[in-house]
Amino acid sequence: MSQLWDFSGGIHPLEHKDISTSRPIRRCGIPERLILPLQQHIGDPAEAIVEVGERVLKGQKIADVKTGMGVPVHAPTSGIIESLTEHPVPHPSGMADWCITLKPDGEDQWCPRNPVDDFHALDRDQVLEMIRDAGISGMGGAGFPTNIKLRPPRDRKVNTLILNGAECEPYITADDMTMREKADEVVAGLKVMAWILRPERCVIGVEDNKPQAIAALRKATEGTQTEIAVIPTKYPSGGEKQLIQILTGMEVPSGGIPADIGVMCQNIGTAVAVAQAVYQDIPLISRTVTITGEAVREPGNFEVLIGTPIEYLLEQAGVQQDKLSRLVLGGPMMGYTLSTEAVPVIKTTNCVIAATASELPAPPPEQPCIRCGECAEVCPMELLPQQLFWYSKSTEFEKAEHLNLFDCIECGACSYVCPSSIPLVQYYRFAKDEIRVQRAEQLKSDRARERFEARQARLEREKEEKELRRKERAKAAAEAQAKKQAEAEQATAEGGAVDERSAKSAIVEQALARKKAKAEANQSSPASQPAAEKPDTEALEKQLSQARSKLETMQSMLDDAKAQQADNVEKLERAVAKNHDRVKRAEEALAEARNTPGTRPTEPQSTH
Amino acid sequence: MAFVQQSSPHAHRARPTSRVMLWVLIAALPGLFAQTLFFGWGNLINVVFCITVAIVSEAALLRLRKKPVAFFIRDNTAAVTGLLLGLSLPQFTPWWVSAVAVISAIVVAKQLYGGLGSNPFNPAMVGYALVLVSFPVAMTTNWAEPAMLWEGAPGFGETLATIASGQQTAIDGWTMATPLDEYKHKIARHTATEVLAHPTFGDGIAKGWEWVNAAFLAGGLLLIGLRIITWHIPAGFLGGLALMSLAFGSNADLYAPLSLHLLAGGTMLGAFFIATDPVSAATSHQGKLIYGAGIGILIYLIRTWGNYPDAVAFSVLLMNFAVPFIDHYTPPRTYGHHKARRGVPGSQG
């Protein structure tokens, strides 16, 4: 038995898990239509690579991400591509997004599969590519492309690989049932990931309210070094940061990623998907989903094809439409309500709660905060929720940020216990969004200011150049004048009569002299600039290469951060954008310098 | 069909403010019972009267402020303020003194500051302090003789008549100084043994008072057990008082002993029921300890060297002033951070 640590706070909500664990996982069947959103995870949306009307086979790639971060989408069954349209997708906002609609032909015909005999013989990168090609993204929460997550940043060694089987949210039993029924596949997936990462310690964390899952895992890991850590049931022990604290006693630094302390967390479902991809060449086309709540007659877990409309799924579980009041996607603590049951199951869908009005009653009206501090007692991040609420409500975002607003994981424990039934998490989301908007505007105004300042500097320079030219001209004119006067004096001295004609010719001569002087001045002016104003191309090139290398560093840092779903992604993105601008400016300056004549690194001529 | 749209979390554990306050009322019952047993009907009548006045004045003000009256009355917070005043005021306090205390607590200290949750000061203690400085005679001469029920004490009707008559001329035969006051004034000229011979002190620490304090302590422990209050403020409070008492008052012939400080006067009522008012107290655990300790230290200072006999009210109010300052420097360390962020940008600390 390995040592366990506790995390501060936490709550014990009613579990409601037995509702959906009495039946084994059932196959959901093939609905009339499958709706496959092009974006099912964090990152960039995929692009369709099939035509409308085309027949596709089960497991065939139908959309892929060509540039940027993402994984492909596969056909969950054979059928005809019916359309590529906007359709409601699972999102808290209830928005619509681009989806491929597939009309199954009922034959469920596989495309050719080529499972490898032994992945150990392959390169790590090849296995990672297999995982990417199978369209696997994290199946627990945000859904991060798994192949990227499995590629830890260059300087970070993963010592501890954690499989998150805590499943602390009430109602959800998808991971529980998966562990009970597919423990071997879970362990097989873990082995693949362990082979890629070579950690010193592999541990599966499971809450003690899942004895059957624990027994199944114990059996599957017999004789291996994989630990099964049975952790106390407490919400939110399945939060990545909390689970890491429970199992290792370490804290993920604020704004950092688990890899910073040598830890990586993966979801149970993800492990199964990895095993299927690597051993059987089965892409991620289905997943386990819990259908529960008092409004369904036969709650339980289903093996559901990705793209299955929730509506169809509810029918399979025997939904009682007259009782259904609230439809929650995810758990009751962190899930969000759906406005339509037409949305499809996607790679991150783990639970649908069809709740009756009495099951999840509307909270009573909000009362004033009396600073009772219950929220602070249960906060797993050791924040001061009532202060954050106060500052969020009074839009004093700076103070809220100072009290670590962005460390809030939105677990909802504070709202759960609030005696004044204040929707605290809602206030934090509002404050975070406002701060993000303000930051974006700040960046925009910074850029505008930089542009303005550059323009001012250019105008100033041009003015100086003009002034310089004017002085040159004045000097030349003065010289000519002096010459003319001298000539006139000479003529007077010679006593020669100055007739009109000679006067005229003198004027012409003077004009010619002026023109010549002007031409001379013009010719000499570019070269006569002070060296500092026109830096030589060499310096500019150096500047450019420096900017480029900095951009590269930032970009790679950003990639790493993205790969680990770090909290500082935003910050890095801003830094990258800034460096991008810098490179661009440097390039422009260089191009300008090259196009301007007379700026070769020559000895600057003295103006005087 | 239309589904209910709601932001997460969708589950709630309902222990609303009204129930929290109800538990406070219930937890105070042992103390009230002990007071009635040892000091007669006075406090019980006070409590009923104060709660009634509190609810009526709260309702009136809510109406004036155009707030939903029933919604706010049902949170039981006005009743708790009334209860605390009823428990704290001397047993024979004339009714109009109690009324002034309650009305100033609810109207001035609570509603005029914005109602529930917005008051920087403990309403009950504002009311108490106000009548204490305004009507010092009424507030110091109406303490019942302890354990009088067994020695020809005034009955319910007589007590009620005394309170209702509104006369400040207290019945000397029934009342006497409180033990802490007695000790403080006599110890200058007598030894501890001589002082303790006075009937106020009885055979134990302070006749009757010790039991009242023990009953409030029991109620307070119930509140901690129910997680309605945390242990930090009472611990800081009693710790601060005890430390001061041990440091300065170890000689019983010069200053009141520790046992008297802890078990006489309003110590336990203050530690568990008054100082723990969440609205006007510090927020973080560390802040609560400091806040409680501050009150304990101030109580000792005021009891020992101050002119007023009632130290709890002034100490609590003084520390209420310090709450923003304490909160400013005592946020906890957040997960994943090396140390706590002390202070808040943009505000003067």
What pLDDT does A153 receive? Answer: 77
Give the pLDDT confidence of B20-30 residue by residue, as tens digits: 999 999 999 99
Residue of A nearest to B338 (CA): A253
Q: Cα separation of A403 and B331, whole Å? A: 8
Looking at the predicted structure, is the pLDDT value of residue A239 above 60?
yes
Task: Tell me the chain A residues in contact with residue B326 when contact means C-beta distances shorter than 8 Å.
Answer: none
- Hey, is the C-beta of A121 within 8 angstroms of any chain B C-beta? no
Looking at the complex, report in whole angstroms how far the Cα of residue B18 sits from the nearest Cα belonging to chain A.
Answer: 8
Cα dihedral sign, A14-A20-A22-A25: negative
Band of residue A599 on the pLDDT scale cut at 50, 70, 90: very low
Looking at the predicted structure, is the pLDDT value of residue A443 above 70?
yes
Give the residue among A126, A148, A141 at the shortest CA–CA distance from A65. A148
Find residues 223-242 of chain A whose CB sits inside 8 Å of chain B. 241
% residues pLDDT > 70 (chain A): 92
Least confident of A423-432, A554-563, B105-114, B275-284: A554-563
Give the pLDDT confidence of A447-501 residue by residue, as tens digits: 999 999 999 999 999 999 999 999 999 999 999 999 999 988 887 776 655 566 6
CB contact under 8 A, A402 and B344: yes
What pLDDT does A606 receive? Answer: 46
Task: Tell me the chain A residues in contact with residue B232 when contact means C-beta distances shorter than 8 Å.
Answer: none
What's the average model confidence in pLDDT over A354-368? 90
Looking at the predicted structure, is the pLDDT value of residue A266 above 80?
yes
Task: Tell me the chain A residues in contact with residue B11 when contact means C-beta distances shorter than 8 Å.
Answer: 13-14, 170, 332-333, 360, 416
- Structure token digits, residue A446: 């910074």
Give the residue among A233, A213, A186, A267 at the shortest CA–CA distance from A14. A233
Pick from B1, B11, B279: CB nearest A416: B11
Find residues 368-397 of chain A whose CB sits inside 8 Å of chain B. 368-374, 376-377, 380-384, 386-387, 396
Looking at the complex, report in whole angstroms how far the Cα of residue B328 sits from the nearest Cα belonging to chain A.
Answer: 10
Q: What is the CATH number of the domain that holds A41?
A: 3.40.50.11540
Looking at the complex, report in whole angstroms how far the Cα of residue A467 sits from the nearest Cα belonging to chain B.
Answer: 47
Looking at the predicted structure, is the pLDDT value of residue A603 above 50?
no
Give the pLDDT confidence of A193-232 residue by residue, as tens digits: 999 999 999 999 999 999 999 999 999 999 899 999 999 9
What pLDDT does A141 receive? Answer: 76
Q: Is residue A498 part of a domain?
A: no
Residue of A nearest to B116 (CA): A368
What pLDDT does A594 receive? Answer: 73
Looking at the predicted structure, is the pLDDT value of residue A598 above 60?
no
Task: Tell me the chain A residues in contact with residue B278 when contact means C-beta distances shorter than 8 Å.
Answer: 370-373
CB contact under 8 A, A371 and B281: yes
- Hey, is the C-beta of A254 within 8 angstroms of any chain B C-beta? yes
What's the average model confidence in pLDDT over A377-383? 93
Least confident of A37-51, A180-194, A531-545, A562-576: A531-545
What pLDDT does A522 receive? Answer: 64
- Structure token digits, residue A162: 């954690």
Helix (H) or strand (E) holding A100: strand A96-104
Looking at the predicted structure, is the pLDDT value of residue A151 above 70?
yes
Angle at alpha carbon of residue A588, lines to A585 and A591, rounded to 5°: 150
φ, ψ for residue A61, nearest 5 deg: -70, 125
What pLDDT does A270 receive? Answer: 95
What pLDDT does A146 receive? Answer: 93
What pLDDT does A56 receive? Answer: 95
User: Do the beta carbons of residue A48 and residue A67 sit within 8 Å?
Assistant: no
Detail the residues of A annotated as belonging to a binding site: 369, 372, 375, 379, 408, 411, 414, 418
Could you give the 3-state DSSP secondary structure of residue A108?
coil
Pick from A328, A337, A403: CB nearest B331: A403
**Structural domain span for residue A139:** 26-355
Q: Is residue A511 part of a domain?
A: no
CA distances from residue B251 to A81, A548, B184, B305 in whole angstroms, order as listed? 94, 78, 13, 16
Specify the DSSP class assigned to residue A110: B
Give the pLDDT confidence of A98-142 residue by residue, as tens digits: 999 999 999 999 999 988 889 999 999 999 999 999 999 999 877
% residues pLDDT > 90 (chain A): 67
Pick from B10, B75, B331: CB nearest A332: B10
What pLDDT does B19 receive? Answer: 92
Pick from B7, B334, B346: CB nearest A407: B334
What's the average model confidence in pLDDT over A144-171? 90
CB pairs under 8 A between A and B: 172
Band of residue A74 on the pLDDT scale cut at 50, 70, 90: very high
What pLDDT does A542 receive? Answer: 81
User: Do the beta carbons of residue A316 and residue A296 sit within 8 Å?
Assistant: no
Mean pLDDT of chain A, nearest integer = 88
Least confident of A179-188, A211-220, A247-256, A530-539: A530-539
Q: Is residue A398 part of a domain?
A: no
Band of residue A292 on the pLDDT scale cut at 50, 70, 90: very high
The predicted model scores a pTM of: 0.79
CB contact under 8 A, A326 and B3: yes
In chain A, the number of structural domains is 1
Detail the residues of A annotated as belonging to a binding site for [4Fe-4S] cluster: 369, 372, 375, 379, 408, 411, 414, 418
What pLDDT does A607 receive? Answer: 44
Looking at the complex, report in whole angstroms how far the Cα of residue B102 sits from the nearest Cα belonging to chain A.
Answer: 20
What pLDDT does A528 receive? Answer: 47
Least confident of A80-89, A143-152, A394-403, A522-531: A522-531
Find residues 282-321 of chain A whose CB sits inside 8 Å of chain B. 321
Q: Is residue A250 part of a domain?
A: yes
B336: left (phi over 0), alpha (psi -120 to 50) or beta: left
Pick from A8, A324, A326: CB nearest B6: A326
Mutating which of A242, A404, A406 best tests the B interface, going by the most B Cβ atoms within 10 A?
A404
CB contact under 8 A, A336 and B1: no
Mutating which of B1, B4, B8 best tests the A interface, going by the most A Cβ atoms within 10 A?
B8
- pLDDT in single tens digits along all 349 residues of chain B: 577 888 888 888 868 899 999 999 999 999 999 999 888 888 999 999 999 999 999 999 999 999 999 999 999 999 999 999 999 999 888 899 999 999 999 999 999 999 999 999 999 999 999 999 998 888 877 787 776 655 566 778 778 888 887 665 545 556 666 778 778 877 777 887 777 777 677 766 777 888 899 999 999 999 999 999 999 999 999 999 999 999 988 777 778 888 888 988 889 999 999 999 999 999 999 999 999 999 999 999 999 888 777 789 999 999 999 999 999 899 889 998 887 777 655 443 3
